[in-house]
Structure 1
Amino acid sequence: MRVDRTISNRGMKRILFSVAYPDRLVHPLHRRVVEEPSVTRAELLMWSPTEDATTLLWCDGDRADTERVVAGIDSLVTSHFVGGTDGTYVFLRQDGYEFSATLLDIVADSRVIFLPPVVFSEDGTVEFEAVGESTALSAFYEALSELGSLTIERVSEFERRNSPSQLTSRQQAALETAVSVGYYEVPRDGSVENVADELDCSTSTAGELIRKAEAAVISAYTETT
């Protein structure tokens, strides 16, 4: 399926992709997320445009769990951990990003821009957003499809200002699940643990998804009132 067959060819588009790579192309960090039972999700929040690979990473585990995940990065030079209420942040400096050369060539040749975060999930999928003209996005889609199983999760118009009303598929699923288990009933019947069970993820991940989705919905509402 070509991207430009599913959306208009005019204007700038924003597409949420998810991809499952074959084992030979799986990033070492992602491999550790899949293997480490206490971490189910890692988000690459920021990356540096400089020659040294400096990134800000977030994992949904505590510091000890996150340290075990980061230990799987052979290119690691230095790391600094910062605890949070729902996970752990890590400032990383590496001597290389460790993505496959084939993947980096596709990224370098594409005429699209990638928006943070890049999400590495325990089920082996990588989720990310790309922005560009539909023809460029279509070419990128076809090239990346040759490397892994690629799915288009959402297509929308690109807005110069970030729209908080756009939920990721995971955030939308979390809200829908929260409603179905009675999380928003008065008095409350369901819990974050119930949502986590339904989504098959950790409690911290479910809580984070709900909070981010709620923030997006509330922000969108206040912008229109």
Structure 2
Amino acid sequence: MKRVAFEVTYPSEALHPLHRRLTRTTVASRMELLAWGPTDDVTTLSWFDAGPETVRELLAAVETASATDLVEADDGTYAFVRQTDYEFDDDLMAVVSASRAVFLPPVTFRGDGTATFEAVGEHGALSEFYGALGELTEVRIERVHDFRRGASPPTLTDRRREAVSAAAAVGYYDVPRTGTVADVAAELDCATSTAGELLRRAESTLVAEFVSRRGRGAATPRGPDRGSEDVRN
């Protein structure tokens, strides 16, 4: 079986109402759909890179939401939303429902109108899904790996990836160290305490991923494209 990461760019008329509102704001840039159910009438869990007030404004676009609970944490806001309809485009949901694949969290919606997600299935099923989705929207395959049973290694959020990149750029990881957390904060335009927290969480994630891969017998962490293959043909 294969595990495939897709990036899609929806036409404006096919955007989810919340995603459409996300593209029109400058105070939030990303939503991650972390948990959902097999039916429409469920409580979903999402994370936003924004504060609670902004998230409340964004969630107002979900007309079928009957209850909302927000928790400010982890450099953003978590949202538990009870809803009676996912409100996705009907044609898109038909393609998803007909696919012979399963979809892994998170589904990430970005302010530039793109969305990314991962699917697992046999080669033929994923190829069929890719073709059907491509008839509705612009879709790109980011990477393909063999699927392995067990917990997936953690991945960095965009903000934590930015923090690590900034730290490398200012010399924070040089030996001897030539940059400081304050330098990272300046690059990210955030408080020093926020930059420090982002780096600590990112470093914890990367170490956990390294240990996880070593535990599965890998000598070193494998790059994202090594061993990948296309499912389009």
TM-score category (smaller protein)? 0.7 to 0.9
- Are 1:53 and 1:94, in contact at CA under 8 Å, matched by a contact in 2? yes
Query: For the residues of structure 2 that align with 1:106 and 1:48, how far apart are their CA atoms?
Result: 17
* Paired residues for 1:85-104 under 5 Å: 85-104=74-93
TM-score, with length taken from structure 1: 0.81
**Stretches of structure 2 lacking an aligned partner (at least 5 in a row):** 216-233
Matched, 1:27 2:16: yes
Considering only CA atoms, is the larger Rg found in Structure 1 or Structure 2?
A: 2
1:57 — aligned with what? 46
- Are 2:103 and 2:119, in contact at CA under 8 Å, matched by a contact in 1? yes
1:68 — aligned with what? 57
- Are 1:43 and 1:117, in contact at CA under 8 Å, matched by a contact in 2? yes
- Are 1:171 and 1:210, in contact at CA under 8 Å, matched by a contact in 2? no
Among candidates 114, 122, 132, match of residue 111 of structure 2: 122
> Could you report, residue by residue, the CA deviation over 1:15-57 in whole angstroms, capped at 9, with x for unpaired residues?
1111001011000111111112111110100002345132001
Among candidates 1, 5, 9, match of residue 16 of structure 1: 5
Q: Matched residue of 1:35: which SS? A: coil
Query: For the residues of structure 1 that align with 2:88 and 2:200, how far apart are their CA atoms?
Result: 31
Matched, 1:184 2:168: no
**How many residue pairs end up in the alignment?**
208
> Could you report, residue by residue, the CA deviation over 1:48-102 in whole angstroms, capped at 9, with x for unpaired residues?
2345132001111011111111111111111111111411111101120000110
CA RMSD after TM alignment: 2.9
Q: Matched residue of 1:163: which SS? A: coil
Higher relative contact order (CA 8 A, sep 6+): 1
Query: For the residues of structure 2 that align with 1:107 and 1:206, how far apart are their CA atoms?
Result: 38
* Paired residues for 1:73-222 under 5 Å: 73-164=62-153, 167=155, 170=158, 174=162, 175-176=164-165, 178-185=167-174, 186-189=177-180, 190-194=183-187, 196=188, 213-222=202-211
Query: For the residues of structure 2 that align with 1:41 and 1:87, how far apart are their CA atoms?
Result: 10
> Could you report, residue by residue, the CA deviation over 1:145-168 in whole angstroms, capped at 9, with x for unpaired residues?
111111111111111112317x47
Q: Percent identity?
A: 43
